Structure 1
Amino acid sequence: MVLVVLGIDALDPELVDDERHPHLTLTRHKRIETIDSHAGEPSTHELWPTIITGLPPSEHGLQLDDGVAWENPLLRYGSRAADYLLSDSLQASIGAWLLTNTGADAFRVPSSYYAENGLTTVFDGTDSTAIGVPNYVVDPDTEDREHSLRRELGDLFERDTEAVGGHTTADLPTFYEQCMEMSIVRTARARNALRSGRYELVFAYTSGLDLVGHVTYDRPDVQSQAYDELDRFVADVHADLGPDDDLLLVSDHGLQDGVHTHEAMVAGTDPETVDSIDSVLDVRDAIEAALAGGAHETAATVEFEHGDGRDDVQERLEDLGYM
């Protein structure tokens, strides 16, 4: 058995439809509770560490101040002084400028952070791979195409605290295409990991849907189109599953009218796993229970069942510069 978990940032339970999005709803789907940051809305920076540890942000320690990651290396040394000397609004403004103009990234805390702080994650003790999970960076010195695209967006995704969705874009069509490319990259990497036969847990994350949602508060048709395209990308992962494999989709929050909503969702091919999740705090336990209940065999003991095409995905990604 291989369990593939796709972390889809901002997948909103109110914006999926069983008939229109069969691969975003799968066999069963449901809305689940999420956690708000002290700023009043769910924070991606905080929630993915929560999902992989099963701990609230106050316990795993990765917390955001007014949307600015003061854990960021560019800010870390000044964060204590900033708390005393700068107002919250000025901290947010400085952080917004840094994130827009310096290539700083709020989501690049290394995976070593967890062991160093006595924290365990869903990846411990399993044959697993973590693909792009925010604030669980296995190799901080490398990046794939999604991360480099996000880091280099520039004026395609500018931080603007006055805008409805907190960001603006100088060119929506180009921005949209780059966001969809991000989702293609991560779903393709998940497919490659699944096909390799090396893992019992494949956990891949993509932020494309979230980014599109933040700038399309006045273009719901564009956000709807992104859901339709993502459904097709997930369909490819779904089609690669073997008879004993499962697929689980998890979001950290929803997103409507440009802003994060206070509900997340899960969807899966195994109804029992979906039913066991009522909150982002439950995801880790549900994944571990699913793995404990399945019999995973690696490629060393099982002949690959998906045909000779397993190398095609990796070769295509390498040719395109995605790996």
Structure 2
Amino acid sequence: MTVVVLGIDALDPDLVDPDEHPSLTLEGHKRINTINSASGEPSTHELWPTIITGLPPKKHGLELEDGVAWENPFLRVGSSIANILVPDEIQTRIGAWLLNNTDQDAFRVESSYYSENGIDTVFDGRDASPIGIPNYVTDPDSEDREHQLRRSLGNLFERDLNTESGHVSSDPEAFYELCMEMAMIRIARVRRALRSQEYELVFGYTSGLDLIGHVAFDRPSMQMAVYEELDQFVSELRGDLTDDDVLILVSDHGLQDGVHTHEAMVATTHPETIEPITGVESVRDGIEYALNDSNHEPTGRQFEQKRSREQSEQVKSQLEDLGYI
């Protein structure tokens, strides 16, 4: 049995409907409270560490004092001085410039940060597969397709503080396609981890919905199209589950009219698992309830080998004839 958690950034409880989105609402769903950053709105960078630790940002220490500006490596060392000397509006604009003109990524705090600071997570002591979780990077030298696409969006996704949503795109339709590719690859990785039968906990994350929501503030049909496609993607993931597996969907905040809203949501195939969850700080409680409820001992795939020496030689000969060896 495996507990599968899929984090869908900005999945909004006001925009899902059980009749239209059965795979985003599953057998049970509800809205939950989230946490505002110092900027006054929920911050993705702070909230996923909260979700995996159960701690508010002040306790896990990954706080952003102004959106993404001061998590950038160029400014992190001098941020305490800058906060005193540089006005808030200028800090914000420096952060926007850095996002638009460098390839730095504000989401990639390494997983070692948690143990080094005495912070435990939902992954500790478990056979777990964390996939793309913001600020929980298990291999800083490796990037999947979602990371690569995020870092190469260029003018398809830029910070612009003069717009209503704070973001613009030079080609919203092309941007939409790339974001959906991000979602597909992350959900595909979750499906492969589940199918491997090697893990008791698989926890994946995708940002495609959030990114599109920031750009589609004046294109509501585009935002709703994301929900329709994500519902289909999750339906395919749901088809990989056994009767004993548990699927939990969770968001960090909602998103409407291009800006983050102040409610998140959870959904699950087993409604009892979300009963302990009232806000982002108690998502971990729901996950651990599901993990402790049944046996999650990974079985792993077993590929039996039945090849004789003669058969092996025949295969080798064929490969040599084809030029592979």
How far apart are residue 248 of structure 1 and its match? Answer: 0.2
Contact 2:4–2:247 (CA under 8 A) maintained in structure 1? yes
Distance in 1 between the 2:298 and 2:146 partners?
Answer: 28
Contact 2:130–2:202 (CA under 8 A) maintained in structure 1? yes
Which residue of structure 2 aligns with residue 190 of structure 1? 190
Which residue of structure 1 aligns with residue 63 of structure 2? 63
Contact 1:63–1:69 (CA under 8 A) maintained in structure 2? no
Q: Secondary structure at the match of 2:218?
A: coil
Deviations 1:134-153 (A, max 9, x none): 00000111100001101110
Contact 1:213–1:258 (CA under 8 A) maintained in structure 2? yes
Q: Secondary structure at the match of 1:129?
A: strand
Q: Secondary structure at the match of 1:7?
A: strand
Distance in 2 between the 1:290 and 1:162 partners?
Answer: 45
Which residue of structure 1 aligns with residue 104 of structure 2? 104
How far apart are residue 274 of structure 1 and its match? Answer: 1.8
How far apart are residue 105 of structure 1 and its match? Answer: 1.0
Structure number with greater Rg is 2
How far apart are residue 100 of structure 1 and its match? Answer: 1.3
Which residue of structure 2 aligns with residue 35 of structure 1? 35
Task: Give me the CA root mean square deviation.
Answer: 1.4
Which residue of structure 2 aligns with residue 147 of structure 1? 147
Identity across the alignment (%): 64
Structure 1 unaligned spans of 5+:
305-323
- State whether structure 2 residue 115 is matched by structure 1 residue 115: yes
Distance in 2 between the 1:126 and 1:246 partners?
Answer: 16
Deviations 1:273-317 (A, max 9, x none): 12221100111111111101111132249899xxxxxxxxxxxxx
Answer with 268-277 or 196-205: which moved more: 268-277
Contact 1:273–1:286 (CA under 8 A) maintained in structure 2? yes
Distance in 2 between the 1:184 and 1:12 partners?
Answer: 19
TM-score for the superposition, normalised by structure 1: 0.92
Structure 2 unaligned spans of 5+:
305-325
Matches within 5 A, 1:115-194: 115-194=115-194
The verdict on how the C-alpha distance between 1:297 and 1:9 changes in structure 2, with shifts beyond 3 A counting, is: same
Which residue of structure 2 aligns with residue 10 of structure 1? 10
Matches within 5 A, 1:1-323: 1-300=1-300
How far apart are residue 251 of structure 1 and its match? Answer: 0.2
Counterpart residue type for residue 112 of structure 1? S
Distance in 2 between the 1:188 and 1:137 partners?
Answer: 19
The verdict on how the C-alpha distance between 1:64 and 1:298 changes in structure 2, with shifts beyond 3 A counting, is: same
How far apart are residue 32 of structure 1 and its match? Answer: 0.3
How far apart are residue 16 of structure 1 and its match? Answer: 0.3
Deviations 1:5-62 (A, max 9, x none): 0000000000001011000000000000000111111000000000000000010010
Contact 1:45–1:69 (CA under 8 A) maintained in structure 2? no
Q: Secondary structure at the match of 1:4?
A: strand
How far apart are residue 77 of structure 1 and its match? Answer: 1.9
